[in-house]
Amino acid sequence: MTRTGIGWDSHRLESGLPLVLGGVRVEHDSGAAAHSDGDVLVHAVIDALLGAAGLGDIGQHFPDTDPQFAGADSLALLREAVTMAADAGWVADYADTTVVCERPKLGPHRAAMAAALREALGADVNVKFTTGEGIGFVGREEGVAAMAVVTVRTRS
Ligand code: MG
């Protein structure tokens, strides 16, 4: 049996903060304001995985009010979510993702992001990029967003 889940996340950008996407530190003049490392791409994948496994959402399992998740490495949270899904009888089969970001150009980081996500998720991950075309909160560079779809199958 297979099931599919979707995930979406966005964070505000603030100058001087680190920008981490797909577990990769991207050089930029601003980064995500967040309780954890603010990795919207990994957060979207976690939510998609939890959704496919029928396990609710990221806020239930890793609340941003919990001090233990302050500055958390989101890839470590993804590995925990993989364990939760496995305990519920599900293993990831594939993920497709899109990062919505105006600047900087992310293409040079695509392979590193896909590799980091693949290692943590235990399945192939496709990483796509698009911009806000100058409109909306992404276009105005007020924030960055990501969406993901994860397919899981029953563990054999
Ligand atoms: Mg988030």
pLDDT tens by residue, 46-81? 999 999 999 999 999 998 888 888 888 999 999 999
Q: How far is the CA of 156 from the centre of ligand 1 (A)?
A: 32
3-state class (DSSP) for residue 93 = strand
Q: How far is the CA of 93 from the centre of ligand 1 (A)?
A: 23
Give pLDDT, residue 29: 95
3-state class (DSSP) for residue 19 = strand
Side-chain-facing half-sphere of 49: CA atoms under 13 Å = 34
Q: How far is the CA of 36 from the centre of ligand 1 (A)?
A: 8
Give pLDDT, residue 72: 85
Which residues constitute the domain of residue 117?
2-154
Q: How far is the CA of 37 from the centre of ligand 1 (A)?
A: 9
- The whole-model pTM stands at 0.97
Q: How far is the CA of 47 from the centre of ligand 1 (A)?
A: 10
Give pLDDT, residue 36: 86
Q: How far is the CA of 124 from the centre of ligand 1 (A)?
A: 22
Q: How far is the CA of 142 from the centre of ligand 1 (A)?
A: 15
- Total structural domains in the chain? 1
Side-chain-facing half-sphere of 128: CA atoms under 13 Å = 8
Give pLDDT, residue 77: 96
Q: How far is the CA of 40 from the centre of ligand 1 (A)?
A: 5
Those residues of the chain that have pLDDT short of 70 are none
Give pLDDT, residue 2: 97
Taking the C-alpha atoms of residue 14 and residue 28, their distance in angstroms, rounded to an integer, is 11
Give pLDDT, residue 21: 98
Give pLDDT, residue 137: 97
Q: Are 49 and 78 in contact (CB under 8 A)?
A: yes
CATH number of the domain that residue 14 is part of: 3.30.1330.50
Q: Are 51 and 149 in contact (CB under 8 A)?
A: no
Taking the C-alpha atoms of residue 121 and residue 13, their distance in angstroms, rounded to an integer, is 26
Taking the C-alpha atoms of residue 11 and residue 24, their distance in angstroms, rounded to an integer, is 16
